Amino acid sequence: MTNEAGRRSRQNLTIGEAGLGNGTSSPWPPVADRMVRWVCAATLDDLWDGELLAVTLEDKDVVLCNVNGVVVAFRDCCPHLANPLSKGRLEAHILVCSAHEWEFDVRDGRGVNPATACLSAYPVRLEGDRILVDVGGSVR
Protein backbone atom coordinates (compact mmCIF):
# COMPACT_ATOMS: atom_id res chain seq x y z
CA MET A 1 0.00 0.00 0.00
CA THR A 2 1.61 3.22 -1.05
CA ASN A 3 -1.30 5.66 -1.14
CA GLU A 4 -1.75 8.71 1.03
CA ALA A 5 -4.58 7.18 3.06
CA GLY A 6 -2.30 4.30 3.99
CA ARG A 7 0.40 6.69 5.15
CA ARG A 8 -2.04 8.57 7.33
CA SER A 9 -3.44 5.44 8.92
CA ARG A 10 0.06 4.13 9.54
CA GLN A 11 0.98 7.30 11.39
CA ASN A 12 -1.99 6.73 13.66
CA LEU A 13 -1.03 3.16 14.36
CA THR A 14 -1.52 2.18 17.95
CA ILE A 15 -1.69 -0.93 20.02
CA GLY A 16 -5.04 -1.67 21.53
CA GLU A 17 -8.65 -0.58 21.15
CA ALA A 18 -11.72 -2.75 20.77
CA GLY A 19 -11.02 -4.77 23.85
CA LEU A 20 -7.31 -5.02 23.17
CA GLY A 21 -6.22 -2.37 25.65
CA ASN A 22 -5.73 1.24 24.74
CA GLY A 23 -2.33 2.64 24.21
CA THR A 24 1.31 1.82 24.14
CA SER A 25 1.95 1.56 27.87
CA SER A 26 0.03 -1.68 28.41
CA PRO A 27 0.60 -4.48 25.93
CA TRP A 28 -2.26 -6.61 24.81
CA PRO A 29 -2.89 -9.37 25.74
CA PRO A 30 -1.79 -8.69 29.32
CA VAL A 31 1.60 -10.09 30.15
CA ALA A 32 1.06 -12.92 32.60
CA ASP A 33 3.47 -14.12 35.23
CA ARG A 34 6.01 -15.75 32.91
CA MET A 35 9.27 -15.06 31.12
CA VAL A 36 8.92 -11.86 29.07
CA ARG A 37 11.04 -11.65 25.91
CA TRP A 38 10.34 -8.70 23.64
CA VAL A 39 11.65 -9.18 20.10
CA CYS A 40 11.56 -6.67 17.26
CA ALA A 41 9.29 -8.26 14.67
CA ALA A 42 9.10 -5.53 12.04
CA THR A 43 8.77 -1.79 11.63
CA LEU A 44 5.65 0.15 10.84
CA ASP A 45 6.92 0.49 7.28
CA ASP A 46 6.65 -3.28 6.93
CA LEU A 47 3.00 -3.59 7.98
CA TRP A 48 0.43 -1.32 6.42
CA ASP A 49 -3.18 -1.03 7.47
CA GLY A 50 -5.08 -4.10 6.29
CA GLU A 51 -1.97 -6.24 5.84
CA LEU A 52 -0.72 -9.52 7.25
CA LEU A 53 2.95 -10.24 7.72
CA ALA A 54 4.61 -13.57 8.50
CA VAL A 55 7.71 -13.39 10.68
CA THR A 56 9.81 -15.95 12.49
CA LEU A 57 10.86 -14.79 15.93
CA GLU A 58 13.38 -17.05 17.54
CA ASP A 59 11.83 -20.41 16.69
CA LYS A 60 8.23 -19.22 16.55
CA ASP A 61 6.21 -18.54 13.42
CA VAL A 62 4.10 -15.45 14.02
CA VAL A 63 1.58 -13.59 11.91
CA LEU A 64 1.23 -9.85 12.46
CA CYS A 65 -2.00 -8.07 11.51
CA ASN A 66 -2.67 -4.38 11.18
CA VAL A 67 -6.37 -3.58 11.28
CA ASN A 68 -7.33 0.06 11.39
CA GLY A 69 -4.01 0.93 12.95
CA VAL A 70 -4.14 -1.78 15.61
CA VAL A 71 -1.28 -4.27 15.49
CA VAL A 72 -1.82 -7.77 16.87
CA ALA A 73 0.23 -10.95 16.70
CA PHE A 74 -0.82 -14.58 16.65
CA ARG A 75 0.83 -17.93 16.30
CA ASP A 76 0.98 -18.46 12.53
CA CYS A 77 -0.88 -21.73 12.67
CA CYS A 78 -4.55 -22.34 12.10
CA PRO A 79 -6.17 -24.25 14.97
CA HIS A 80 -7.98 -26.39 12.42
CA LEU A 81 -5.25 -28.23 10.48
CA ALA A 82 -2.23 -26.00 11.05
CA ASN A 83 -2.22 -24.09 7.75
CA PRO A 84 -0.19 -20.87 8.11
CA LEU A 85 -2.67 -18.09 8.82
CA SER A 86 -0.36 -15.65 7.03
CA LYS A 87 -1.39 -17.31 3.75
CA GLY A 88 -4.96 -16.23 4.43
CA ARG A 89 -6.53 -12.84 3.98
CA LEU A 90 -7.88 -10.01 6.08
CA GLU A 91 -11.43 -8.86 5.42
CA ALA A 92 -11.75 -5.84 7.70
CA HIS A 93 -11.09 -7.35 11.16
CA ILE A 94 -11.71 -10.95 10.07
CA LEU A 95 -8.76 -13.20 9.28
CA VAL A 96 -9.79 -15.96 6.87
CA CYS A 97 -7.66 -19.10 6.67
CA SER A 98 -6.78 -19.96 3.08
CA ALA A 99 -7.20 -23.70 3.55
CA HIS A 100 -10.82 -24.18 4.62
CA GLU A 101 -12.08 -20.64 5.21
CA TRP A 102 -12.24 -20.72 9.00
CA GLU A 103 -12.67 -17.14 10.23
CA PHE A 104 -11.20 -15.35 13.24
CA ASP A 105 -11.75 -11.91 14.71
CA VAL A 106 -8.27 -10.42 15.09
CA ARG A 107 -9.54 -7.93 17.67
CA ASP A 108 -9.72 -10.71 20.26
CA GLY A 109 -8.49 -13.84 18.49
CA ARG A 110 -11.83 -15.61 18.82
CA GLY A 111 -13.33 -17.77 16.15
CA VAL A 112 -16.18 -16.38 14.09
CA ASN A 113 -16.75 -19.54 12.08
CA PRO A 114 -16.57 -21.77 13.98
CA ALA A 115 -17.12 -19.80 17.15
CA THR A 116 -15.45 -22.45 19.26
CA ALA A 117 -12.03 -21.88 17.66
CA CYS A 118 -9.47 -19.51 19.13
CA LEU A 119 -6.08 -18.14 18.09
CA SER A 120 -2.97 -18.05 20.26
CA ALA A 121 -2.04 -14.42 20.75
CA TYR A 122 1.25 -12.76 21.63
CA PRO A 123 1.53 -9.41 23.43
CA VAL A 124 2.51 -6.53 21.12
CA ARG A 125 3.84 -3.05 21.82
CA LEU A 126 5.46 -0.27 19.86
CA GLU A 127 8.83 1.28 20.54
CA GLY A 128 9.13 4.20 18.19
CA ASP A 129 8.70 2.73 14.72
CA ARG A 130 9.44 -0.81 15.85
CA ILE A 131 6.80 -3.49 16.47
CA LEU A 132 7.83 -5.59 19.44
CA VAL A 133 6.34 -8.99 20.18
CA ASP A 134 6.73 -10.81 23.47
CA VAL A 135 7.67 -14.33 22.45
CA GLY A 136 8.08 -15.48 26.04
CA GLY A 137 4.93 -17.49 25.57
CA SER A 138 1.56 -17.22 23.95
CA VAL A 139 -1.27 -16.20 26.23
CA ARG A 140 -3.78 -18.75 25.02
Q: Which is nearer to ligand FES, 18 or 117 (CB)?
A: 117
Q: In what order do the strands lie in the sheet with 89-91?
A: 89-91, 94-96, 103-105, 110-113
Under the binding rule (CB under 6 A), the answer on residue 81 touching ligand FES is yes
| DSSP assignment string, 11-61 | HT-BSB-TTS-BSSSS-BSPP-SS---EEEEEEGGG--TT-EEEEEETTEE
Q: Which residues face 89 on adjacent strands? A: 96
How many beta carbons lie within 10 A of that of residue 118, not counting itself? 14
Please state the φ and ψ torsions of residue 120, each to the nearest 5 degrees.
-90, 120
Measured from the CB of residue 43, what is the shortest distance to ligand FES in angstroms? Answer: 28
Under the binding rule (CB under 6 A), the answer on residue 99 touching ligand FES is yes
Under the binding rule (CB under 6 A), the answer on residue 37 touching ligand FES is no
Q: Applying CB under 6 A, what is the total number of residues that bind ligand FES?
A: 8
Under the binding rule (CB under 6 A), the answer on residue 102 touching ligand FES is yes
Measured from the CB of residue 89, what is the shortest distance to ligand FES in angstroms? Answer: 12
Under the binding rule (CB under 6 A), the answer on residue 94 touching ligand FES is no
Under the binding rule (CB under 6 A), the answer on residue 54 touching ligand FES is no
Q: In what order do the strands lie in the sheet with 38-43?
A: 38-43, 130-134, 124-127
Under the binding rule (CB under 6 A), the answer on residue 100 touching ligand FES is yes
Measured from the CB of residue 118, what is the shortest distance to ligand FES in angstroms? Answer: 13
Give residues in contact with ligand FES (CB under 6 A).
78, 80-81, 83, 97, 99-100, 102
